Structure formats: structure tokens, C-alpha cells
Chains A and B, each alone.
Chain A
């Protein structure tokens, strides 16, 4: 019999604070965003990226390029293991050539998704620079040498634990918060 132990890692307040702080960090670095694009990693990172994008546009009153990238076809676990890969849409309607790209995901875990997303991004040209922003960093579970440049919260977790980011409007009673889930044997 499995029992799921759930704890809140980040409540709505803290999440909004982090979102605002990350927004200001980017503004500090990029000023008017004229040669910058924010690109969310599908599926979950794109939701977070959209919120961050809105936040920065609100604060700066600048128009900033926004896109979504799907790493599915570049993943390294196709036909390995039991998971069936499902593709999401990629929406990038600008040239990434010579742009500074801020790639956004919700949780940085093994680093494999980001590796695939970066490969996918290179199919659109040669960006001047790519930086990574994530809400949560599970820093002891990395399998590739990938680190975030901007970070909401860093957590130390064992591999069996799951981190779930929930967004308002995703279902009944969903609000912006982050859960940590652990399956326990009764």
C-alpha cells in the first residue's frame, strides 16, 4: 500500500516574491530587452515563462520576444524505458540569430531536458548567448554539467522524491505553489 506524503515547498506568497525577484534580476542585466527573447521549455516551463514574461513587461513597459520550445524530438530517452514521449508545440516566430536567449523551466533536475531544449533551440539559428532560469533547482540530482544562471529556490532532494509546480487555473482549487511529494510504504 502506497501513501503519498505531500509538503508545500513554496507557498503562493513566496512564489510571487521569487517571480518578482527573478524579473528584477533580468531587468538589472538586460535593461531594455531589445536583443533578448524569453523562451519557455514545454510543457511546464512555458507556463512559468509566460508569467515571468508578463511580470517583466508590466514592470518595464517594454515589448519582449516570447517563445516556447519543445525538447521532445531531441530527447536522449526515446525508445528507452517505459515512458512514451508526447510532443508539444514549438512556437518561435522570430529569428534567434544573435539574440540573447533566456531559457526558462520550472524544475531543473537531471539537466537532460535542458540539454535537449538547447539542441532544439540551435535549429533556429545561432543565438549570441543562452542563459538558464529555473524556479526550482534540485541541485544534487544532476546527470549533466548544466547549471541555472537565475534561480528561485534550491532544494536538496533524493531521487525518489518528486517536485510538482502547481499553477492557478490548472484545475479545481489549484493555486500557485510548489509541492514536494514522497511515496511512502505504509
Chain B
């Protein structure tokens, strides 16, 4: 298989396991490229990409932009705060106006779940979802899978724990789909108020005791507490959260094995993860950031490989 089954990357849910494998293996080639003395290839030189960010982002946005530049694409950046969106323009109008300037691909982050799916139905360009509300964040899940496999080999049969604010996390949902499709076992851990009801129907399990959950897993992906998305109090205080669900060295030292620690960033040091864990040799947080560029290059390359009919 040398091409994706889809024209857009809207979510991991729509992808086949073969698609995921193709993206991961292509990213490996790009990882080699971004470690060369000259880190740039001319592949997308006749392609223009618009980065539409209707929500704040540093990591993802810089990572996408770097990936586009390493592939020689022309890039236009757009952020909602400095645009006509403030004047009341609709999403479709905004995007159509940008496309009228001959843009081939759109990378979009939007606070509303499903916004990229809506765009994909109405406009003639490849759409890449860079996070839509609490729904999906497919490139994050891909780079997490890539980073895990780089350290401990094929995900098939591996045990991955996702800890934290599952309810508000698009990273969690995309990770669940991605890990399951690649054959891993997935468990969730967090305050019961932040774990959606019936989430087990996705073929995963829930463990409320953090120590037991850590003992079970090979890899722990620690999520940020997303206070900006929480309208009500889901737990008494950040300190209480850190006490019951924070990943710290004391908890890791009690384990009979060494597990891998991931975090999608930005980190709230001392809340969901302590500094000594985040900066330890078990943590692959900075590998995740490096691999993010390779993964995004692979996604851009593979989607551009298929022209829009």
C-alpha cells in the first residue's frame, strides 16, 4: 500500500490500520531527512497550505509550519484573533475566501468538534484536522504512536495507560482509536468525574487507582488538566488532583519495572506530572515534539500524493 484511503485527515476514527502504518513508515523517512545537514526537500514546492487556527496553539502550529517549510510548501498563517472572524464572518466564508487565493491544503484547529468534517464536505482542498474541540487531534495520536514504537517496538500487545482529563481531551480520543487500531491494550485512569460514561464501549478499560494503573502499563500518556474547557468543578483542587492522580517519582519508584512517560504538552508541572518525572530518562516528551514534525511531514506528503478529484 502506497497511498492513503482518504483525501483528508479528519480523525483517526476514519482511518484504516493500513493507513496508520503507511503514515508511521513514511514518517520514519522524514525523520531521517530532518536530521540531515540540509533539512529541506523540494517535494511540495508547488503546493500552498493555509494554517487556520481558530484556537490558541504553539506546539502544533509551529510543528505544522516547520513540516510545511521542510517540504518547501508555501505557507499562509491565519489566526482567528486577528481576522474578519471577529467581524462576524462565517467559517465557510472565511475558508472560501482563502481558497479563492488558490490554496491546496488546509490545516485547521477549531474549538467546535466536527468543524473540519464540515469543511471537508464543502470545499475543494485537502483538510487536516489539527484539533477540533474535545473531539480529535489525529496528528498528536500518530506522533505518540510513533514515539512509543521508536522506543519499545511494535505496539501490538503493548499496554498503554492514558491518565487525566479524558472527558475534555481530543488527544485521549484520538489516542484510543489509534492505539486500538495498532493492536495495543488501552486503560484509562483519572477522577471518575472526568471519565466519560460508557467509554468502555470503545474496547478499553478504566482503573481509578493510579498506582494499580501504572503497575499494569508499559507506557503512560499523561494528559494536561484542561481548566479552560471545564465549566464546572470536576475535582476539589489542583493540589488534590496532584495527590490522587499526579504522576510522580515516588509512584514510579514503587513499580517493579520502568515505564515510558509521554505528555502531549503543555505541561502543568507539579499538577498532572512532577518535574523530576517530566525531565527523567523515562520521559520521551521532547522526542514527541521532534517526531511531531516528521509525522506532519508524512501526513502532508501522503495527502498531497492524492490530488483532489
Residues of A whose CB lies within 8 Å of any CB of B are 70, 72-75, 78-79, 84-90, 119-120, 122-125
Contacts and interface: CB of A to CB of B under 8 A. Distances in A.
B2 interface: yes
A89 B35 CA distance: 13
B229 interface: no
B29 A87 contact: yes
Contacts of B47: 79
B305 A84 contact: yes
B193 to A, nearest CB: 45
Contact of B305 (A78, A123, A124): A78
Given A84-B2, A84-B3, 10 more contacts: A73-B41, A79-B46, A79-B304, A89-B28, A89-B29, A119-B42, A120-B41, A123-B38, A123-B39, A124-B38
15 contacts: A70-B29, A73-B42, A73-B43, A78-B44, A78-B304, A79-B46, A79-B304, A79-B307, A85-B305, A87-B29, A89-B29, A119-B42, A123-B36, A123-B41, A124-B37
Contacts of B46: 79
Nearest to A125: B37
Interface string B137-160: 000000000000000000000000
Interface of B: 2-3, 26, 28-29, 32-33, 36-44, 46-47, 71, 301, 304-307
B37 A123 contact: yes
Nearest to A123: B38
A86 B2 contact: yes
Nearest to B32: A90
Contacts of B71: 73
A75 B42 CA distance: 8
A85 B43 CA distance: 11
B308 to A, nearest CB: 11
A90 B36 CA distance: 11
What 7 pairs across the A-B complex have the smallest Cβ distances? Answer: A86-B2, A73-B41, A123-B38, A73-B43, A87-B29, A84-B3, A123-B36
Contacts of A88: 29
Contacts of A74: 41-43
A78 B43 contact: yes
A11 to B, nearest CB: 32
Interface centre among B3, B42, B46 (most CB of A within 10 A): B42
Given A123-B41, A124-B36, A79 B305 contact: yes
A127 to B, nearest CB: 12
